[in-house]
Amino acid sequence: MTYKLGLTGGIASGKSTVAELFEQAGYPVIDADVIARQIVEPNSLALKKIAMRFGRELIQADGTLNRKALGAKVFGHPQALADLNAIEHPYIRVALTKALDEAVASGADIVVGDIPLMYETQWEDYFDGVAVVNITPKLQLERLVARDGLTVDEAHARIDSQMPLPEKVAKADFVIDNSLGQQMREVQVKQLIKHLTGK
């Protein structure tokens, strides 16, 4: 029986690093961010709808979406972000469900769905349990500024566009504290795998 584990956290909380540990342990990970990029490939219906709503200048010469320009239009602008989500999420949901169902059909003991907006988009019901990657607010801000080359204000706008991390932690079935360094992160993931598989 496959255990369907949802994995989420705040932006720059280290969720992708945790997802990699599950992959290294041999469990399939379906990444919603990868699927979100696939659904806006050149000439896709979702990309055309985004261009109609936010401007054709977001489509680059090679037909791809200028993600940075789109980010500037939606982060810190709640209605614009809601409009973008309304366009993208139906396409993401169909593709993500298909990818997760295929992974479950493979018979793996654990299938991980790496979904940043797990609670914001009501994905938790698909899973048997949800693990939230937690981090201190100070570390989250520092990591986001360093990773994406943002100003502190830009980083706050992105953090504020998501459900607050403490709220996600309160809803979680499992919490992985990513403030404790690499070794403790690995220990926590191994303990969770053992708990879920009994192995």
Establish whether 17 is an annotated binding residue. yes
Is position 197 annotated in a ligand binding site? no
Asked whether residue 44 is marked as a ligand-binding residue, the answer is no
Is 82 known as a binding-site position?
no
- Check the annotation: does 194 bind a ligand: no
The answer to whether 92 touches 35, Cβ cutoff 8 Å, is yes
Return all residues near 15 (Cβ < 8 A) that are at least 6 apart: 7, 8, 9, 114, 116, 133
Q: Is 6 labelled as part of a ligand binding site?
A: no
Cα–Cα distance between 149 and 157 in angstroms, integer? 14
- Bridge partners (DSSP) of residue 6 are 113, 130
C-alpha–C-alpha distance, residues 198 and 176, integer Å:
19
- Distances from the Cα of 53 to the Cαs of 69, 165, 172, in angstroms? 14, 30, 35
DSSP per residue, 136-184: -HHHHHHHHHHHHT--HHHHHHHHHTS--HHHHHHH-SEEEETTS-HHH
DSSP H or E run through 133: strand 129-134
Name the nearest CA neighbour of 85 among 76, 74, 99, 101: 74
Name residue, tokens 């349990």: 129
Q: Give the residue ranges of the annotated binding site for ATP.
A: 12-17
Q: Give the residue ranges of the annotated binding site.
A: 12-17
